[in-house]
């Protein structure tokens, strides 16, 4: 929502380590503009425990997406959309490199 990565880092290894730890920073500089509903949605989507983390279906049913929600105006949606576009450009991560690192770091499963 803010246009900033949930797990910022100076390289793919640092980003993946922060992701694994599940520590999400919410700097006021970026998050003060986000509604309580928006913060709640992000916190539920990024919950470290996958048993507690909401599914995509649950996320789409969240009150932040409700058209009756007064905290989410068309301007907010346009800003979030622009933030996401900026994030894509800023991240500039080679997805093949990330996927290969994830694959390598997975423990070997035995049958």
For residue 58, the model assigns a pLDDT of 94
pLDDT tens per residue, range 71-98: 566 666 667 777 667 666 666 655 566 5
Q: Is the pLDDT of residue 102 over 70?
A: no
Q: For residues 16 and 98, what is the distance between their CA atoms, to the nearest angstrom?
A: 9
Structure tokens at 30: 């970026």
Q: What is the DSSP string of 39-80?
A: HHHHHHHT-SSTTTSPPHHHHHTSGGG-TT-TT--HHHHHHH
Burial state string for 24-33 with b = 16 or more CB within 10 A and e = fewer than 16: beeeeeeeee
Mean pLDDT, all residues of the chain:
76
Residue range 57-75: mean pLDDT, rounded: 76
Residue (of 5, 22, 20, 7) closest to 105 by Cα position = 20
For residue 69, the model assigns a pLDDT of 64
pLDDT tens per residue, range 33-52: 888 888 899 999 999 889 99
Q: Is the pLDDT of residue 110 over 80?
A: no
């Amino acid at each position: 929502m803010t246009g900033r990565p949930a797990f910022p880092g100076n390289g793919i290894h640092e980003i993946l380590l922060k992701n694994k730890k599940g520590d999400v920073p919410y700097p006021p500089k970026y998050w003060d503009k986000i509604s309580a509903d928006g913060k709640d949605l992000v916190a539920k989507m990024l919950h470290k425990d996958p048993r507690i983390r909401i599914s995509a279906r649950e996320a789409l049913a969240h009150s932040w997406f409700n058209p009756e929600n007064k905290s989410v105006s068309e301007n907010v949606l346009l800003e979030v959309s622009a933030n996401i576009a900026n994030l894509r450009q800023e991240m500039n991560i080679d997805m093949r490199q990330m996927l290969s690192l994830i694959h390598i770091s997975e423990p070997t499963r035995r049958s």
